[in-house]
Chains A and B, each alone.
Chain A
Amino acid sequence: EAQVTQNPRYLITVTGKKLTVTCSQNMNHEYMSWYRQDPGLGLRQIYYSMNVEVTDKGDVPEGYKVSRKEKRNFPLILESPSPNQTSLYFCASSLLTGVNEQFFGPGTRLTVL
């Protein structure tokens, strides 16, 4: 089954404790992206990647890091989480050509205390 998986689905942590949210897709998509969803603000792009070793900032990259060492994986790293990073995070992937359809993962609900 074609899908985007994220882990963990739910995470409660404390300020300053480094964490990684993993994202993996099995569709051989070149493009991958991370978004955060907050009430009243919609979906905002954090980082995106056009291919392996190619990443770039979205609209809200501060406090986040990403890496793309393999085509299928695109982890989101919070080196020192803060309470304002409490949010619902989505990973998405798509092809770079043809129909521009992003496939979203199920989301990760992160709470930073």
Chain B
Amino acid sequence: QQQVKQSPQSLIVQKGGISIINCAYENTAFDYFPWYQQFPGKGPALLIAIRPDVSEKKEGRFTISFNKSAKQFSLHIMDSQPGDSATYFCAALASSGGYQKVTFGIGTKLQVIP
């Protein structure tokens, strides 16, 4: 049972374009939604995260949009660059009382072509 569904699994975007990755969840107890970026041969690293009390969070070229009623959230990468080519994972967890189980999506392999 996949508690966090991520799509697409792969994405090719031209340099300067917008990359959009979507995630959906079922568990309404989730209250923290991070995105991780992973380069080949490396461990994932936190990119940006959001809590459900806000609908959008922006850090530089990266924006998370959050729709609590639809139980969906997405990552937008503006002005995508070849250096953004990596695998992106969304995740969700219920953090009350300290965080416990973390559920990741299956990942999206992004390729930004010049």
Chain A positions within 8 Å of B, measured between CB atoms, are 4, 30-31, 33, 35, 40-45, 48, 50, 56, 58-59, 90, 92, 94, 96-97, 99-102, 104-107
Contacts and interface: CB of A to CB of B under 8 A. Distances in A.
A106 B42 contact: yes
Interface stretch (B14-22, B54-62, B69-77, B91-99): B91-99
Given A102-B46, A106-B42, A42 B105 contact: yes
B52 interface: no
Contacts, number: 67
A90 B34 contact: no
B21 to A, nearest CB: 13
A59 B42 contact: no
A35 B8 CA distance: 22
Contact of B102 (A96, A102, A106, A107): A102
Contacts of A58: 101-102
Interface string B78-114: 0000000000010101010011111111110000000
